[in-house]
Structure 1
Amino acid sequence: MIIPLQKIKAHEPYTFQGSLDVSDLEEMNNDIRRISDVEVDGEATLVGKVYQFDLNLKGTMILPCARTLVDVKYPFSVDATENFTKVDYVASEEEEIFLIEQEVLDLAPYIKENILLEVPVRVYSDEEQLSEAEDEGEGWEMRTEDTHIEQQEITHEEDNGEDKPVDPRLASLQKFFDKDQNNE
């Protein structure tokens, strides 16, 4: 999304709308499996020597469920403000003001950055989608917490009734404790 700076000066405040393909975010090392085109609504103003862009970004990304790894649709709406200037000393004084050297500004990298900041740490699928998830696979099975506690109690009861064989690597350590008990 390229914005000519002359349009901002001529038509202040300059409003713009558009759609931006950000599918290259899927290739990055993040949880985004798929992402729709992002709808961008923006307004640009010139405040002193700073171009201020107020952006609203809307779209939908597909993320993995934290429990089952099934696809979860995550709609997002981000409000962001980005500041730019053509004056070198203004950009060096403020961290949040980016220096631009051309007469046009490509907002795509800044839009992508704001989308990446919006990706949640984890999302959970609806209960309907949970029923579609597999309950077991090769070498694993999904259990409820109650089932897991019951299984642990059964295992604990079985272990209390018999002596466990000593690990051969720890046999010499067992002899040390046997000597200590005989001396008492």
Structure 2
Amino acid sequence: MFHLLDIKKHDDGISFDQTVDVKAQLLARDPDIIDVDSVHVVGNISFDSGLYLLNYDLTYRLVLPSSRSMEPVAFDNQLFISEVFIEEQDVASKKELVEDDLVLILEGDSVNLEDSVVDNILLNIPLRVLTEAELENEDLPSGESWSVLTEDQYQALQEEKKVENNPFSALNGLFED
């Protein structure tokens, strides 16, 4: 957590290089997350023309359930985060930035790095998580009278149905002599 007065005192901003423990916050906000560790941030926060600029590299290891089998899948991720904050009393003077959602409005007298880290990890959770075996094997789950299809397989199936349902398909080959 960085207090706004401390940020304003440093012309070059405040640099940081730390490991943060955000596991409890992440698990509380997304119950699908199995585990998170090695959350490391390196960056700088500074003040310029009424704006607080937060820039940092975020690296972490996240464990999520597989999209197909629900088996735990661990993967490492690295992100560069750049956020701009503004104090509530300065909103009127920077109204165009607020309306275009280019700045975040600060509530209180500090910028919370952990909240930023948690939000950015949650925003970057992939929709498709597969184990190594699932990545190598193209077979999708299926059962009695159902199966999962890729989009390409679905499109091919739709094309086949169009040909089969064509009322003129019975006339095919009639005039080949």
TM-score by length of 2: 0.64
2:20 partner amino acid: L
Stretches of structure 2 that go unaligned for 5 or more consecutive residues are: 146-177
Match of residue 79 from structure 1: 80
Stretches of structure 1 that go unaligned for 5 or more consecutive residues are: 131-144, 153-184
For 2:66 and 2:74, the matched residues in 1 are separated by: 10
Deviation by residue 1:55-92 (Cα, 9 ceiling, x = unmatched): 21111010111222111111111111111122121454
Tell me, yes or no, if the aligned pair for 1:44 and 1:52 is still in contact at 8 Å: yes
Percent identity among equivalent residues? 26
CA displacement at 1:106 relative to structure 2: 1.6
The structure-2 alpha-carbon separation of the partners of 1:91 and 1:32, relative to structure 1 and needing over 3 Å to count, comes to farther
Give 1 or 2 for the bigger CA radius of gyration.
Answer: 1
Match of residue 171 from structure 2: none
For 1:16 and 1:53, the matched residues in 2 are separated by: 11
Matched, 1:123 2:133: no
Match of residue 9 from structure 2: 10
For 2:79 and 2:36, the matched residues in 1 are separated by: 14
Equivalences, count: 135
TM-score by length of 1: 0.62
For the aligned residue pairs, the C-alpha RMSD in angstroms reads 3.1
1:113 partner amino acid: D
For 1:4 and 1:38, the matched residues in 2 are separated by: 22
For 2:56 and 2:132, the matched residues in 1 are separated by: 31
For 1:50 and 1:17, the matched residues in 2 are separated by: 22
Match of residue 22 from structure 1: 22
Report the more deviating stretch, 54-63 or 64-73. Answer: 64-73
